[in-house]
Structures are given as C-alpha cells and as structure tokens.
Copies of this chain bind each other. A is one copy, B any other.
C-alpha cells in the first residue's frame, strides 16, 4: 500500500517532469514539498526500491510507468474532487484546492467512480485542467501558452488558471477571469505588468507572476475543436 506521502512525491515528480526537463532534481522535489533535501533523497530511495521511479544517484529521478500511473490516479482524484466540490457542494472555485489535496489520498475507487458518474465524466476541472480518464491514459495537454507571452491587441481564450493561492484566485474570479472567458491584451507594461480587457469592457491589470499562471489559447482554434467533436 502506498502512503499519502508517497503519492504526494509521485504527483510532484509528475508535475515537475512536465514543467522542466526530466530527470527531476532532488532539491526541486524538496522545495516543492517543503521538506529538506535529505528527506527528499530518502523518500526517492524508497520510491526507487518500489520501482515507482528510476533513479541515478546525483542525477535525479524520472517516473517509471507504474509511478506515472499512480500519479495520474492521484491527479484524477484531485481534479474530480475539485469539480465535485464546486459543482455539487457549492464551493467557490478558489477554495477547492486544499480540500482536494487531502481527500485525494483517502477516497476509494468506488467513491471515485460514483463521483465521476454524478458529474457525468467531466473532462476538465474548474481550473481548466484536464482530468485523467478512468483508464489513466497519459493526458494530452490542451495546447496553451502563458498570457504573459502574448503581445498587445491579441484576442485570447482563457484555458487554465494555474494558481493555488485562494486569495489570488478569488480576486481573479471576482474580476471575471476564469477558464472559458475571452479577453484582449490591452497593454504590456515594461514594469512587469499586463493589462487585459474583458468582453464586459472592464480592464484588469495583472502582475507578471499572475500573467504567467494564466494559460491561454487562440479562440478560433478552440472553436474548431468543438466543431470537430
């Protein structure tokens, strides 16, 4: 049986593999999980002993296929829970992360199935992130880029909001910025700030770290996909 902690490590490694170049450094894992480097080393050894990661001493780790499956399972739990909490229990979009972060390790497969059924097998969670299928196939990420990387005048569709901070999320939600919304880049200021205009006409100024967290795509491409399906 895998502990909640092991699942946390596998999930973190999964995420870090996709954010940078594998293999993932021990120190990066340690930072992400807010533990000291020796702690990460010893956990990584444990995971390697169980063939959940491939490890080369002093080089870092990559997930094994089994490790990736576990990570996807946990991520599926997390995202289903986030969706369930918002849709069925009236949670605010911003509040769900913490609750899901804990519950993801404790729900049964039966619970997972029933929640998925109650929600009609959703494909994305409230933050716009794709939910792994029940067969845990690798996720093909919806192609998206950071809002920060686009120039003035571009019209964009918000695909995902990659932020965890409840206060920031509440602010963004209140300002009308959430997955599915369209906006136009109004100004890219050289002081590390981007201003966008929503369809409502309102403008919102966003500091760089927020503009990096907002993932966007071309509205026309998104529309095509919907047509295809």
Q: Give the A interface residue count (CB, 8 A).
A: 20
CB of A206, distance to nearest CB on chain B (Å): 28
CB of A114 within 8 A of CB of B102, answer: no
Of chain B, the residue at the smallest CB distance from A98 is B108
Contact with B along A103-128 (1 / 0, CB 8 A): 10111101100110110000000000
The majority secondary structure among interface residues of chain A is: helix
CB of A108 within 8 A of CB of B114, answer: no
**A114 partner residues in chain B, CB cutoff 8 A:** 89-91
Say yes or no for A129: interface residue by CB 8 A criterion: no
**A102 partner residues in chain B, CB cutoff 8 A:** 106, 108
CB of A153, distance to nearest CB on chain B (Å): 42
CB of A118, distance to nearest CB on chain B (Å): 6
Q: A90-B114, A105-B106 are in contact. List 11 more A-B contacts (CB 8 A).
A: A85-B111, A88-B118, A89-B114, A89-B118, A90-B117, A90-B118, A99-B107, A99-B110, A103-B103, A103-B107, A106-B106
CB of A133, distance to nearest CB on chain B (Å): 20
